[in-house]
Structure 1
Amino acid sequence: MSLARVGVIARNVFLEVIRDRILYLVALFALLLVAATLLLPEVSAGAQDKITLDLGLAAIHLLSVVVAVFVGTGLVNKEIEKKTVLVLIAKPVSRLEFVIGKHLGLVGVLAVLIGLLTVIFLAVLSLNRIDYPLGSLLISVAFMALEGMLLTAVAILFGVFTSSLLATLLTFAIYLMGHLSQDIVALGQLSENPSLQRLTDGLYLVLPDLERLNLRNEAIYGMELLPPLPELLGHLLYALVYTLLLLAIAIAIFSRRQF
């Protein structure tokens, strides 16, 4: 694998997504956040600070998920549908380099997007003199970026062998089930049916446990409510390993496709 070729593909994806007006989401986020800070004092009694923190983190998370899913599913799929993939793979570019480059390019976009949204969020909090736990908020945002990285790998995986619409629906389904996977296991444990318990345990092993990367509620109340450092590092390793496995499967499927 050539890192130079991977870098070129990633750079092209990054510039292409940026040109697709993805940064208009930043302006939309700023407007909504400013509007929320103006309206919340009118509808909440003394809880507007916590609501603003929760709303801002939720908005950053939602926008990152939307970009990862909608853009990620089309990264490879649109190249296949437009037959431009024939030109790309005819050049000295391996399919492994193609998939890795696409993934890294969108991860770069997500990093920039989440970074800008976080800066705006913190600026609005400071201008409105809202106290916030900076350290825990930054850790929460970093884990949002990890979730975006993982979801991008899911989107690419489905995009290499299904249509854009189906890939989008399947990726959203994985996202929703990933946040419910712990509840699915708990439901199986409550039942007295061994078959159901095996099924729920199997689903938990296959589905990504995205709640491991959800630290938004804990972050609002400060560092003391976040998991200890060894547990955070375990969650980080989990996200990285799961992402690599998804990309490996995507590369294996893409390598066997005939165009």
Structure 2
Amino acid sequence: MINSTLSTPYPSTTMNLNRTRVIAANVFREVIRDRALYLLVFFATVMVVAVALLPEVAASAEEQMILDVGLAAIGVLGLAVAAFVGTGLVNREIEKRTVYAMIAKPVSRSEFIVGKHWGLTAVLAVLVLAMTAIYIGILTAKQIPVSIASVLLSALFQILELALVAAVALLFGVLTSSLLATMLTIAIYCVGHLSRDLLSIGALTDNAELHQITEVLFLLLPDLSRLNLKNQAVYGMEMLPPPAELLSHAGYGLLYTLLLLTLTVGIFSRRQF
């Protein structure tokens, strides 16, 4: 079976969940052991500094700014892990040729890619939840009012967003070098948060070609604003969209992630090692 997989141009993409979970667990242990503690310490430091300094420079809106800084820091640190780690998960193994050992085992390439994504997503989920707990703890200690329910819901959607970004990172990691893949992933993240603005700009212009380009970009690129509930977390549950809309946004994120993983598996399956 292994020999036939390596000799054909289209290796098997069938999945075994047990093998996929093993790959995910290895990724999780490796990344958590190497980076998690430093990120949590850094985030806690950012929050403590923000709580100490912002009242001095923004006396009339310090609570609002502390809330915003904390949520923004969670997003930025999560993006850094998804982009820098995600692009290297596959690319590093290709460059070091350790991928040969993986595909020589009874592991399909779909298991390899999906396992990497599951492991990284688990890391991102743990980091986001841990930083959210630190965030809520510091706000509570400083007696800054915050809607815990809306913050937790925002954290859940942050995990969905970062899972999508991790899938983007894996896709580019299969296609190009780690540095370029990281840059492209961050670019997609930024454009994904501006895609609706680009569509609005295109609708305002008289240039039909530009309008069509912005529509195509909006359809192709992920609309990450659907998964961004940071403002709602700051202002409370009453600002959240209706439950049906939230479910629609969550479904969008999951479906887009699935499509990206399917594309990544298809490309990776056609690479010859």
Q: 1:239 aligns with which of 253, 259, 262?
A: 253
| 1:23 partner SS | helix
Q: What is the rounded CA distance, in whole Å, between the counterparts of 2:21 and 2:59 in structure 1?
A: 51
Cα deviation 1:149-195 (Å, max 9, x = unaligned): 00000000010121101111111111111111101111110011222
Cα deviation 1:190-246 (Å, max 9, x = unaligned): 011222111111110100001111111122111111111111111000000000000
Counterpart for residue 256 of structure 1: 270
Quote how far apart the aligned CAs of 1:22 are. Answer: 2.9
* TM norm structure 1: 0.98
- For the aligned residue pairs, the C-alpha RMSD in angstroms reads 0.8
Quote how far apart the aligned CAs of 1:129 are. Answer: 0.6
Q: What is the rounded CA distance, in whole Å, between the counterparts of 2:209 and 2:48 in structure 1?
A: 51
Q: What is the rounded CA distance, in whole Å, between the counterparts of 2:186 and 2:255 in structure 1?
A: 21
Counterpart for residue 198 of structure 1: 212
Q: What pairs with 1:28-47 in structure 2 (closer than 5 Å)?
A: 28-47=42-61
* Paired AA for residue 172 in structure 2: F
* TM norm structure 2: 0.93
Cα deviation 1:33-92 (Å, max 9, x = unaligned): 111111122112231111111111111111001100000000100010000001100000
Q: What is the rounded CA distance, in whole Å, between the counterparts of 2:219 and 2:253 in structure 1?
A: 14
Gapped regions of structure 2 (runs ≥ 5) = 1-14
Counterpart for residue 123 of structure 1: 137
* Paired AA for residue 226 in structure 1: L
Q: 2:229 aligns with which of 215, 218, 242?
A: 215
Q: What pairs with 1:1-259 in structure 2 (closer than 5 Å)?
A: 1-259=15-273
* Paired AA for residue 214 in structure 2: T
Q: What is the rounded CA distance, in whole Å, between the counterparts of 1:22 and 1:83 in structure 2?
A: 26
* Paired AA for residue 149 in structure 1: A
Q: What is the rounded CA distance, in whole Å, between the counterparts of 1:157 and 1:180 in structure 2?
A: 21
Cα deviation 1:70-124 (Å, max 9, x = unaligned): 0000010001000000110000000000000000000000011011101111110
Gapped regions of structure 1 (runs ≥ 5) = none
Quote how far apart the aligned CAs of 1:21 are. Answer: 2.7
Range that drifts further, 34-43 or 72-81? 34-43
Moved over 2 A (4+): none
Maintained 8 Å contact 1:23/1:113: no
Aligned residues: 259
* Paired AA for residue 23 in structure 2: I
Q: What is the rounded CA distance, in whole Å, between the counterparts of 1:162 and 1:213 in structure 2?
A: 27
| 2:143 partner SS | coil
